[in-house]
Structure 1
Amino acid sequence: MKNATILTLAFMFLIGTHVIAQEDYKDIHTKHEYTIEKKYEVLDINYDELRFKKRPKNIILFIGDGMGVAQVFAGITVNGALNMEQMPYIGFNKTQSADNYVTDSAAGGTAISTGVRTYNGAVGVDVNGEKLTTILEYAERNNKATGLVSTSAITHATPASFIAHQPKRSMYEEIAGDFLETDIDVFIGGGADFFTKRVDGRNLVLELNEKGYRVAYNIDEVEDVNSGKLAVLTAVAHNPGYRDRGEMLTKSTSKAIEVLSNADSKGFFLMVEGSQIDWGGHQNDASYVTGEVLDMDRALAEALKFAMEDKRTLVIVTADHETGGMTVNDGNVEKGYVKAGFNVGDHTAVMVPVFAFGAGAEEFVGVYDNTEIFEKIYKLYKFKEEEKDR
C-alpha cells in the first residue's frame, strides 16, 4: 500500500511538473538589444488595383500575443518595413478583463473570441463559469470551415479560448478533450502530450483518427495534403523559439489556408497566433520579442496574398494584451538594430493595435473594447442575431 501511494504521488508530481513547464517562459533574461540576422522583402501592394467585396466570406485573425505598438515598431526598425504596414485600416482595442485592469491571455482571448469579458484564467466561460459560444463555433454552425494555428501548444490560453470551455487555463488535458467536441477542420500547434500521455488514459490521437483526421507531427509531413480534416501536433509541449522552429508558422498558415479554402463550406474562419512575442516580453528580451514579431509578419504575408487574390477575405492583426511595458529607446534602420527597454516582466494594461485588410476592413478603425473584435466579425459574417446564445 505504501509503495502504491509513493508511485501515485510520483506520478502526480510529474504531471504537475509538466503543467508548470508550460509557464517556464516567464523567467527574465534582460536582453535589450537586437540586430536582425537577415532582412526579408515585404509585399508591395498596389491598392488602386484592389476591389474587395463589401463583406467577407473568409476571415483570418492573427493574434500577436503580447504585441503592443513598441513590439511592432521594433520589427519595423530592424527590417525596414513590415507586411503589417500594408494594412490600411488601423484601430486600437482596450484589453481589460472582467476582474482585472491587466488581463491575461485566457481572458483576453475569450473576450476576442466570444465578445464577453471574463475573469483572468478563464477559457471560453463567463464570470459565472457558464459556457460561452465562440466565433469559431458560430462559424461551424453556419457551415464554415474552421482552423487554429499556434506557435505554442495548441492547448495554451489563446488558441484554447476559441475552442474550449474550462474554468482554468491550466487544464490542458481537459482543453485537449474539448477539441473532440467540435468539428474543427484544421489545427496546427504543439501539445501532443496532452492528447496522448493523459491521466485519464484516453488517446485522443486515436479518437481523431476515428473522426477522419489526418494526424501528423511535423508540418512538412502534410505537404501533399490539401483537403479534409487535419491535425498537426508539432511538439510534445510548446514549439521552440523562432530561431529553432524555422518556417513552421509560415508553412502552417499557408497549409491551413489551402485546406480551409478547399473545404466544401460557406467560407472559413482561421485564427493564427504568434504566441511567443509574449514570452519575449516576459523575459525582457528584445531579440526574442522582435524575432517573433518578424516571424508572424512573414506568415501574415501568406494571408494577405490570399486575400488579394480571393477578394472575399478579411485579414485582421491584433493582440490580446501588451507584455513587458516595452519601449523603443534607440535604433538604426540601415543596420537593422534596435535597443529596447522594459518596465515590467508581465502584462500591461495599455491599448493594443488592430490592423485590417480586405473585405470589410474599414469596420476596424477607431478605439474600442476587445469584445468588439468578436462583434465586428459576427456582423460581417452576417450571422443572425437570434443565433446568439446570450
Structure 2
Amino acid sequence: MIGDGMGVTQVSSGIYRNKSLHVERIANIGFSKTSSSSELITDSAAGATAFSIGEKTYNGAIGVDKDGKPKETLLELLGNDGYATGLIATCAITHATPASFFAHQLKRSMENEIAADMVNAPVNLFIGGGKKYFENRVDSKKKPFDNRNIIRELEDKGFSFIDDLDALKTTAGKVGYFIADDQPESILKGRDDILPRSIAPSVRHLQKESDKGFFLMVEGSQIDWGGHANDAEYIITEMIDFDQAIGKALDFAEEDGNTLIVITADHETGGYSLPAREGNYNELDGKFTTGGHTGVMVPVFAYGPGSEAFRGIYDNHQIYHKIRQVLGK
C-alpha cells in the first residue's frame, strides 16, 4: 500500500485530526531512503519502479532500469507464478505509481502506451481513473493517437468492465472498473470513500481467482497532490481516506493470519511541517517549504508474517527484495 507523498508529517496530521489512525495498529516500522538513480530527490515513477523491480532507476522511468531496459515487476513475477494480482488507485491507473507495476515505458508521460501495456500484463483486477487512455485515445494536442480500443482488446483477453463496486461481487474472472475518465476528484471535491470500500470486495475477488494467493497494490494517490498544492486540508482528508483503506486491509489480515501488508510512500511532498500557530502550542499550523518533493526518508509500516524484516533504515528498492524474501521467491 503506497501513500503517494506521505511523509511522517502527513501521517502525524492525520493522527491529530482524527485522534488516531489505523496505521497505529502496526508495530513493525522502518524508514526508506527514497533517492532515485538519477537524482537525490525522486519522482513517483522512479520511486514506484524501485518497489516494483528491486532496482533504483531514473526519474520518469516506468518499469525499466536505469538504462531503460524493461524489467519484470513484482506484480508480473507473482502473476506469472499463479498469484491473482490487482491494482487500486485514486488517480488514473496509467499514472506513475500504478503504471510502474504493470507497464514498461521510458517516460511516465507516455500514458497511451502505458494503457496498452495492460493488454499483456498478468493483472486480474484494476480500479482507478484514466478511461480516456483506453478508448478514443488522443495525444497531448488532442489529436487522435491511434485507432486502438484497449478496452475491447482487454475484453478479448477475458476482462469484464463494471460500473459500480457491487458488481464485483457477482463478476468472475478479470475485472476493470474505471472510476473517472481522467483523474478522480479529491475527497474535498466530492470523491466518495471508494478507496476503503474497494478493499474487502477486491480481496474476496482475488481470493476466488487463485488458490495460490494474491498481490494487491493500493495507492492513496492524492496525498501527494495536496502537498504539491501546499494545501494542508487536502493532505489531511486524503491521508485519512488512505488510512481507512489501511484499516480494511488490517481487518482482513488479522482474521486471515497469513497476509503480509507493507505500507510506505514513494517520497514526501511539500516539505510539510506542523509548527505552532502564532506561538500557541495547542494549535498546529501546517507549513510548507516547497511545492515539489523532498529527499527526507519516509516511513514503512509492516504487518503480518515476516513483517519484522521491514524494521530499520534501508533504500527503497530493498522493499522489493524484502517482500520476495518473505514470500520465499
Sort the TM-score into its range (normalised by shorter chain): over 0.9
**Partner of 2:48 in structure 1?**
109
Looking at structure 2, the residues matched to 71 and 133 of structure 1 have their Cα atoms a distance apart, in angstroms, of: 32
Q: Note the residue ranges of structure 2 that are not aligned, 5 or more in a row.
A: 138-144
**Secondary structure in 1 matching 2:308:** helix
Which one of the candidate residues 227, 239, 260 is aligned to 2:184?
239
- Runs of 4+ in structure 1 deviating by more than 4 angstroms, as ranges, are none
**Secondary structure in 2 matching 1:328:** coil
For residue 270 of structure 1, report the CA deviation from its aligned partner.
0.5
Q: Please tell me whether residue 184 in structure 1 is matched to residue 129 in structure 2.
A: no
For residue 253 of structure 1, report the CA deviation from its aligned partner.
2.0
**Partner of 1:288 in structure 2?**
234
**Partner of 1:46 in structure 2?**
none
Which one of the candidate residues 230, 253, 276 is aligned to 2:175?
230
Residue identity in the other structure for 1:208: L
**Partner of 1:371 in structure 2?**
317
**Partner of 2:6 in structure 1?**
67
**Secondary structure in 2 matching 1:215:** strand
Q: What pairs with 1:105-254 in structure 2 (closer than 5 Å)?
A: 105-198=44-137, 199-220=145-166, 222-225=167-170, 227-243=172-188, 244-254=190-200
**Partner of 2:250 in structure 1?**
304
For residue 140 of structure 1, report the CA deviation from its aligned partner.
1.1
> TM (normalized to structure 1)?
0.79
**Partner of 2:262 in structure 1?**
316
Which one of the candidate residues 203, 206, 211 is aligned to 1:260?
206
Looking at structure 2, the residues matched to 319 and 75 of structure 1 have their Cα atoms a distance apart, in angstroms, of: 15
Residue identity in the other structure for 1:213: F
Residue identity in the other structure for 2:64: V
Which one of the candidate residues 23, 32, 40 is aligned to 1:93?
32
* Count of aligned pairs between the two proteins: 317
8 Å Cα contact 1:65-1:273 kept in structure 2: yes
Larger radius of gyration: 1
**Secondary structure in 1 matching 2:244:** helix
**Secondary structure in 1 matching 2:94:** coil
> TM (normalized to structure 2)?
0.94
For residue 337 of structure 1, report the CA deviation from its aligned partner.
7.1
**Partner of 2:141 in structure 1?**
none
8 Å Cα contact 1:217-1:235 kept in structure 2: no
Looking at structure 1, the residues matched to 213 and 271 of structure 2 have their Cα atoms a distance apart, in angstroms, of: 38
Q: Note the residue ranges of structure 1 that are not aligned, 5 or more in a row.
A: 1-61, 384-390
8 Å Cα contact 2:162-2:168 kept in structure 1: no
Looking at structure 1, the residues matched to 157 and 9 of structure 2 have their Cα atoms a distance apart, in angstroms, of: 44
8 Å Cα contact 2:169-2:205 kept in structure 1: no
For residue 225 of structure 1, report the CA deviation from its aligned partner.
3.0
